[in-house]
Amino acid sequence: MADEHPAILLKKKRKRLITEGLKTNCAELIRLLSDMLDAYFCEVYEKSIVGPTMRIERNPYALVALGGYGRREECVQSDVDLLFLFDRNVPENGEALIREIIYPLWDIGVAVGHATRSIDESLELAAIDLDTFTAMLDSRLICGMSPLFSTFMERFRQEIILPNQDRWIETIIQSCRERRARFGDSAYLLEPNIKEGVGSLRDYHTFRWMAMILSEVRDIRDLEYYGYISSREYGRLIDALSWLWVVRNHLHDIAGRKCDRLFFEYQPRVARRLGFIEGKNGQPVEQMLSKVHSAMEWLNQLVQIGIREIDANRSAVRNSRSVTKTTSSDIYADRGTLHFSTSEAIVRHPVLLIRIFEESAKQGLPLCIDARRLVQEFLYLVNEAFLRMPGALKSFESILMASRVDVNVLEEMASSGMLERLIPEFTSIRDRIQYDRYHLFSVDAHSLKTVQAIKSFGGEQTKEWCSLCAELYRDISPHRKWLLWAALLHDIGKGVQSDNHSRNGAEITRSILNRLGYRKRDIDTVAFLIEHHLLLIKTATRRDINDEEVAITCARTVNNVERLKMLYL
C-alpha cells in the first residue's frame, strides 16, 4: 500500500487537533495549527521533485509565512498566506513548484493564498501597499534558503522601514481610525467583529506593527522587553488575546467558514460550548458577551493609549520639550499628556490620584501611559477613607460636572480601575451585557455615556437641535450635580438580581451617597431620580396620556417642577 500524501495526513491530523482543541478551549490551538502547517511545508520541501531541479546555487528560494500565519495565529478557518521568495527573477518552473506544494492543500479544503516574487519585486510592492507592508512585517521563514530570507528582511528594514518610519506610522494610524469608524456602528456593537471591530485582534496587530516599525520587536513578549507594555499589562494582553482566539475558533467551527462577526444566531451556541450556564450573573450569552466585551474594551484602550504615546514620543523628537504647570506642583503637562512629578509624591499625597483626573477634565488632556500605570500601581491607597481626604470628593465632583465633553475622563477612570475603587458597587455592572437588540453598550459604558450625553446639553450644538434640552439644563443649574450623580448610578441596580432594578438601584445609591457624607435631602433627590428614571418614557409609551387620571398620577409621583425637568433630561 502506497504511503499517503502529506496533505492527506495533514487533513486527518488537523481534524483531530481541532476537535480536541475546541473541546478543551485551548488558546494554544492557533500555534499548534500553525506548527502543523509548518511541518507539512517542510516535508513537501524535502520531498520536492521540482525544487532540486532549480539548481539551488543559481535559483535559491525560501518559503515564507505571511500575515496571521506568519504570526502563528492560524485559526480554524483562517487563510494560509505564503510567499515563494526568490533571489532574482522567478524561474519558469516556479509554477510547477507551486502546483506541487499548494494544489494538494486546495484539494483538502485549506484556503491558501500565495505570491511568487523576487526580493526586489517584494520590496517594491511593500513600499507602496500597506497590506503587503504589514504582511511582511509579520513574515517568518518556514523552510528553504535561510540566508536568502535574512537578506530580504535586512533590506526590508533598511530600505523600506527605517527611512520611512513616520510615514508608515501615520498610514497605519489613519488606516486604524478608518477601520474603527467602519466597524463602530450599532450593528457591530451588538454583534462584535472579533477580528476587525473596535477592540478586536486587529487593534492588537496595529499596536504590534507600530512597535515593530520603531523597535526590533518580533513577538508579543518583545512588547514588554522594549517598554511598550508593563509586566502586568503583558499578562492582561495574553488573557484578552487568548479569550478572543478561543471565541474566534469556535465561531469559525460553528459557521463552517471564515466568519469573524459574532452574529446573534451563533451567540447561544458559542456560549454553550464555552461552558456558560444561567445563574446569578445572567444568561449564558450575556456572560459570554461580557467577557468578550471586557477583552475587546481592554484592547481598545491599549491601542488608543499606544497611538497617543507613540505620537507624543515622535513629536518629542521633532520638537523641544514644552512643560506646562497645572494647579498642582506634583502634576505637569508635557506634549499633550499629563504626568506625575514623581511616584514618591503620590505616596506623600494620595489625593494626587484623583487630582490628575481633575486636571484631565479641566484641560482636556489624557494621562500619559506612565501616569496611568502609576495610578494602577497605587490603587491600593484608594479606600473608603480616601474620599474623606481634604479636597478628594470635591475633585470627583469637579470631574463629574466638568463641562468639556471632548474627553471622557470618567471612562479613563473606569478603564484604569480608579472609578471602581472610589465606588466599589460599580464593579457589579462592569462589562455587564444585556442580551437584546436594543442595549448597544455594556451597563457601565451606557452609564458613563449617559453622563456625557446630559453634559452635552450645555453645549452650543444642543441649542440648535434641542433647544428645550438646553433650556432645561440651564434651568436646573443649582441641581445639576444631583442629576449627574443619578445619571452615573441610574443602572447600578442591574448588578444584582432583582425584579425592579430601578428601586434596587435607588437603595444602593442611598448607601453610596450616605457613605460619602451627603445631606439626606440631596440623597433623596438622587434616589428619586434613579427609582423613577423610566417613569416618563413608560407613561408616554405605555399609558394613555389623554387620560386625565394618568397625568395626575404621574404629576403626584414627580411632585415638583425641578424633579420633572431632571427626569425629562
* Predicted local confidence at residue 21, as pLDDT: 92
Per-residue pLDDT of the chain (569 residues; tens, 9 = 90+): 457 888 899 999 999 999 999 988 888 999 999 999 999 999 998 887 776 666 555 778 899 999 999 999 999 999 999 999 998 887 777 788 888 889 999 999 999 999 999 999 999 999 999 999 999 999 999 998 899 999 999 999 999 999 999 999 999 999 999 998 888 766 567 899 999 999 999 999 999 999 999 998 988 999 999 989 889 899 999 999 999 999 999 999 999 999 999 999 999 999 999 999 887 778 899 899 999 999 999 999 888 888 888 877 766 555 555 667 677 789 999 888 899 999 999 999 999 999 999 999 999 899 999 999 999 999 999 988 888 888 999 999 999 998 877 778 999 999 999 999 999 999 999 988 876 666 778 899 999 999 998 998 887 776 666 888 888 888 888 899 999 999 999 999 998 877 788 899 999 999 999 999 999 999 999 998 998 888 888 888 888 777 788 888 888 888 888 988 888 87
Instruction: Provide the CA 59 distance to its chain's centre, in angstroms.
Output: 45
Q: For the purposes of burial, counting CB atoms within 10 Å of the CB of 381, is it exposed (0-12), middle (13-18) or buried (19 or more)?
A: middle
Q: How far apart are CA 569 and CA 452, in angstroms?
A: 12
Helix axes 284-318, 409-416, angle to 10 degrees: 110
* Residue with the three cell numbers 495565529: 73
C-beta separation of 366 from 338 below 8 A: yes
Range 429-569 classified under CATH 2.60.40? no
The third-level CATH classification (topology) of the domain covering 6-164 is Beta Polymerase; domain 2 (3.30.460)
C-beta separation of 323 from 332 below 8 A: yes
* Predicted local confidence at residue 1, as pLDDT: 44
- 183-318 architecture in CATH? Up-down Bundle (1.20)
The three cell numbers of residue 458 are: 450645555
- 320-422 architecture in CATH? Orthogonal Bundle (1.10)
Fold agreement between 6-164 and 183-318: no
| Farthest-apart Cα atoms in the chain, separation | 95
Domain extent listing, the chain:
6-164, 183-318, 320-422, 429-569
Q: How far apart are CA 379 and CA 403, in angstroms?
A: 26
Q: How far apart are CA 257 and CA 255, in angstroms?
A: 5
In one-letter notation, the amino acid at residue 345 is A
DSSP 3-state of 538: helix
The three cell numbers of residue 347 are: 505616596
Q: Left (φ > 0), alpha (ψ -120 to 50) or beta: where does 286 sit?
A: alpha
- Beta strands 331-334 and 323-325, pairing class: antiparallel
Give kind and range of the element (H or E) at residue 405.
none
The three cell numbers of residue 117 are: 516574487
* Predicted local confidence at residue 45, as pLDDT: 87
Q: How far apart are CA 83 and CA 136, in angstroms?
A: 9
